[in-house]
Amino acid sequence: MAQERTAGLKDVAKAAGVSVTTVSRMLNGSLDLPALTKQRIENAIASLKYQPNPHARRLSRGRSDTIGLVVPDIANPFFATMVAAVEEEANDRGLAVSLYATLNRTGREVAYLRLIEHNHVDGLVFVTNHPDNGDLAALINRTGKVIVVDEDVPLAAVPKLFCDNFQGGHLAGRHLADFGHRHVLYVGGPDAMISTQRRFKGLREGLRERFGDSISIRRYSGEYTIDCGRDMARRFLDEGMPATAIFASSDEIAIGMIEVLRERGISIPEDLSLIGFDDVSPLHLFAPPLTAIRQPVRAIGRRALSLLLETNWQESKSLAIEELVPVEIVVRNSVAPPSTHNKQR
């Protein structure tokens, strides 16, 4: 436990009988030396157990070899999975990850974005979860080196990576249509979010393709939380169950709804069909196993990092790119034909 100050470049240089420059340059590959000298230096490094001081290096080089990862809430399984994927990819590339949770507070988002300006981190994978009034976008455009993931920050001119929300909605719509549902409730997150918008459009399209205009879609908006799911389920019941199927726009919303529906004795899928979105929770063990649109969360996380590193931040053309990752439907057992004793509309 005695803090014997760790060996520095100087010590290595002395031990090897060369200058610091030589060691440093050899280590950084900007100088190649005769085998003998090289050997001496390597021996010195090994015997002194030298490891470069990261702070000094960062100060000198002006970069940190660290990327920042900003997410609303790490405990949420969706973000947790994404964090894991980003960390994994970063690790593979020799980068460290600094983790920041915003808990959806704009103040924190702003603070974390500023990290880039002082080279605290070399770039940011940024996931937000709530509408932006333009401030965030402005800051992002000013700082650069940000990848916006999962949910849009509309005016930000940086690469963006989303799952194919429209396709997801479409798959859900088609699946419900296949079972004969024309009266569907869509429970989304905040209306301003593209995920909510696009999934809705996809859903509508999916139903229309089968039934044309003889469909009715109700739309509730809220947040991507369990609480909100509960509220929406109560509202749905209070309004007399005006649909034969529900498309819940996240695992959390679905979970909250199931809780309440179950309490009230509504059985799925006999009385009501339900389809979810995300599929990162163990939905297959639920009662009933929940059919859902699955987001390839890990792939998104890994891709986010590679986008961050591979983007040419000089060329503005390459910046305003929106990349969509396809989703799939995982059919389980929560969708059945519409119940007949269900009063519609």
Partner DNA sequence: GAAAGTAAGTAAACCGCTTTACTAAAGCGT
Partner DNA sequence: ACGCTTTAGTAAAGCGGTTTACTTACTTTC
Chain contacts with a copy of itself (rule: CB under 8 A): 1, 6, 51-56, 58-59, 64, 66, 69, 73-77, 80-81, 83-85, 87-88, 91, 96-101, 103, 114, 117-120, 141-142, 144, 255, 258-259, 262, 281-282, 284-288, 298, 313, 316
**Residues 248 and 274 sit within 8 Å (Cβ to Cβ):** yes
Our CA angle for 255, 328, 231, nearest 5°, is 20
CA neighbor of 168 nearest in space, from 139, 137, 194: 194
Nearer to DNA, 9 or 280 (CB): 9
Length of the chain: 345
Residues in 17-36 at the binding interface with DNA, rule: CB under 7 A: 18-22, 24-25, 27-28, 30-31, 33-34
Min CB(11)–DNA separation in Å: 8
Min CB(56)–a copy of itself separation in Å: 5
For residue 249, give Cα distances in angstroms to 106, 172, 190, 345: 23, 10, 10, 21
- Other Cβ atoms within 10 Å of 334 Cβ, number: 24
Min CB(84)–DNA separation in Å: 30
Query: H or E stretch including 291?
Result: strand 291-294
Please give the Cα distance from 233 to 253 (Å, whole number): 9
Q: If contact means CB under 5 to 8 A according to the sort of partner, which of a copy of itself, DNA, none does residue 30 touch?
A: DNA
**Residues 159 and 313 sit within 8 Å (Cβ to Cβ):** no
Number of residues interacting with DNA: please give it, by CB under 7 A: 27
Give the neighbor-by-neighbor strand order of the sheet with 291-294.
216-221, 183-188, 245-248, 273-278, 291-294, 328-330
Question: What would the x/- binding string for DNA be over residues 32 to 61, using CB under 7 A?
Answer: -xx--x------------x-xx--xx-xxx
Q: If contact means CB under 5 to 8 A according to the sort of partner, which of DNA, a copy of itself, none does residue 195 touch?
A: none
Q: If contact means CB under 5 to 8 A according to the sort of partner, which of DNA, a copy of itself, none does residue 154 touch?
A: none
Question: What would the x/- binding string for DNA be over residues 73 to 92, using CB under 7 A?
Answer: --------------------
For residue 331, with 0-12 CB atoms within 10 Å meaning exposed, 13-18 middle and 19 or more buried, which class applies? middle
Q: If contact means CB under 5 to 8 A according to the sort of partner, which of DNA, a copy of itself, none does residue 43 touch?
A: none
Half-sphere exposure of 318 (CA within 13 A, CB side): 12
- Cα-based torsion angle of the residue sequence 34, 37, 38, 41 in order, rounded to the nearest 10 degrees: -170
Please give the Cα distance from 219 to 249 (Å, whole number): 11
Min CB(344)–a copy of itself separation in Å: 27
Min CB(317)–DNA separation in Å: 28
Min CB(307)–DNA separation in Å: 25
Min CB(140)–DNA separation in Å: 22
Nearer to DNA, 144 or 242 (CB): 144
Residues in 172-191 at the binding interface with DNA, rule: CB under 7 A: none
Please give the Cα distance from 251 to 69 (Å, whole number): 22
Nearer to DNA, 47 or 53 (CB): 53
What residues make contact with DNA under the rule CB under 7 A?
5, 8-10, 18-22, 24-25, 27-28, 30-31, 33-34, 37, 50, 52-53, 56-57, 59-62
